[in-house]
Structure 1
Amino acid sequence: MYKVFVNDTPIIITQSSKIESIFPVFAFNDITFDEILRRLNEKLIKGIILYSIDLEKDWKTFKQNLRVISAAGGLVLNDKKEALFIYRNKVWDLPKGWVEKDESLENAAIREVEEECGIFNLTITKKLITTYHIYHQNGYILKETYWYLMHSNYNAPLIPQLEEGITEVSFKKTDEIEDILKNTYANIKIVYATYKAQ
């Protein structure tokens, strides 16, 4: 299954015939990409499910409508198992950014977390999940973000990357994260839920 967000509205592409959802279901080949985006952008539906017979083939077809960019980021835990969050544009988020040319996903994830948070001593524990979202900037772009679970014992003051619009960086306890998840993006909720499920 692939779950792609347009803002926080999901496009779910699945091979599962056991689909139970409040969203309308279409056969993948029965609706156009432009029609999907029109319905989502006009808020005619709160999400859509595309039923696929060949998931990987249809996923490649879906991506042909978009310019794909890769990003990488991290869910960073400290020694107290607190999670590192950033505050940008009045929304809580996790640090991430574009992968540079010839850069590995792991190196990009560490670099972006370091740059956005002013943190060091990062180690990757494991890969968590890949999330997808579509936005419009001189055409439609699909951002594929590769997320890693990380650890750091860094205990000096954290420095938000102000030029990226980040105004706060801090480690949050589990009870604080419950409130944060009320003011974050759907993909960030998925990343955190993936971590908690392991």
Structure 2
Amino acid sequence: MKLFVNDTPVNFSSVHQPSSVQYDYVVNALAASMAETKLKGDVLVNYANHAYIKTALEYFSKKKVKNLDSITFAVADLEETVELVKGQFKIVKAGGGIVRKGDKVLLIHRLGKWDLPKGKLEKKESPVEGAVREVEEECGVQVTALDEICQTWHTYSRNKKKYLKRTYWFAMDCLDDSQMKPQIEEDIKEVRWMDTPAVHQALYESYFSIRYVFRQYYRKLERHSL
């Protein structure tokens, strides 16, 4: 489960599985409260219980922590913890994609950030069907879906209700971009083809979640699995 809370990457791991990841700060949740945890760089919280995690998620949802790159909660019961986290929210499913044409991919500019086209699935719609529909509606292009890249989860609130959006991301090929234009009613200001250097530059003005999707995309390209 790759979770983003207020665009902060939140990870879950097992205390029983040693990690090769290097962290800037390691905290023992049994000895320090959430308020005492130094939130800077990549943080690992060992032995985090459910109450600790719930407090942390509520904190992150209300405040963007400027210098925090990611936080990982190492727990004794990984599967149970993930299910309890999901249980705090109403789950919404969405689909989106990275569309390619030759050596370029398609990005949209929305709400001051470079982003990828995506949106909620309709009733009885499969993730790939919804992803294709959303991409075509938001960008005015025709596409065909290839393999799934990854899935992301992110939280948001609306009308005092808490939601957890599960987004399925697919690689796509462009079939026709002769009618390409941004869907203005979805606050999209621009749709642009970008080569790899331009994408890397645009990601400085994007979200952690979108950077993660692109990392997974490029890794799969390197392994020739897309």
Fold equivalence (TM over 0.5) = yes
**TM-fit CA distance, 1:44:** 9.2
Q: 1:113 aligns with which of 129, 132, 135?
A: 135
Matched residue, 1:197: 219
Moved more, 137-146 or 67-76: 137-146
Matched residue, 1:186: 208
Matched residue, 2:31: none
Q: 2:86 aligns with which of 38, 58, 63?
A: 63
- TM-score, length basis structure 1: 0.90
Moved more, 174-183 or 36-45: 36-45
Q: Contact between 1:33 and 1:65, CA under 8 Å: does it hold in 2? A: no
Q: Contact between 1:28 and 1:58, CA under 8 Å: does it hold in 2? A: no
Distance 1:37 1:44 in 2: 15
Q: 1:20 aligns with which of 16, 19, 22?
A: 22
Matched residue, 2:5: 6
Distance 1:49 1:27 in 2: 11
Matched residue, 2:111: 89
**TM-fit CA distance, 1:111:** 0.3
Q: 1:76 aligns with which of 99, 104, 113?
A: 99
Q: 1:144 aligns with which of 166, 176, 183?
A: 166
Q: 1:104 to 1:59 in 2, by over 3 A?
A: same
Q: Is 1:52 matched with 2:75?
A: yes
Residue aligned with 2:173, SS: strand
**TM-fit CA distance, 1:33:** 4.3
Q: 1:31 to 1:49 in 2, by over 3 A?
A: farther
Residue aligned with 2:23, SS: coil
Q: Name structure 2 gaps, 5 residues minimum.
A: 25-42, 221-226
Distance 2:67 2:199 in 1: 29
Matched residue, 2:37: none
Structure 1 residue identity aligned to 2:99: V
Residue aligned with 2:2, SS: strand
**TM-fit CA distance, 1:141:** 1.2
Distance 1:25 1:45 in 2: 16
Structure 2 residue identity aligned to 1:29: N
Q: Is 1:128 matched with 2:168?
A: no
Residue aligned with 1:192, SS: helix
How many equivalent residue pairs? 195
Q: Contact between 1:160 and 1:167, CA under 8 Å: does it hold in 2? A: yes
Q: 1:142 to 1:45 in 2, by over 3 A?
A: farther
Structure 2 residue identity aligned to 1:31: A
Q: Contact between 2:44 and 2:74, CA under 8 Å: does it hold in 1? A: no
Distance 2:182 2:167 in 1: 21
Distance 1:73 1:142 in 2: 16
Percent of aligned pairs with the same residue?
A: 33
**TM-fit CA distance, 1:3:** 2.8
Q: 1:99 to 1:82 in 2, by over 3 A?
A: same
* C-alpha RMSD over aligned residues: 1.9
Distance 2:71 2:104 in 1: 35
Q: Contact between 2:9 and 2:209, CA under 8 Å: does it hold in 1? A: no
**TM-fit CA distance, 1:52:** 2.7
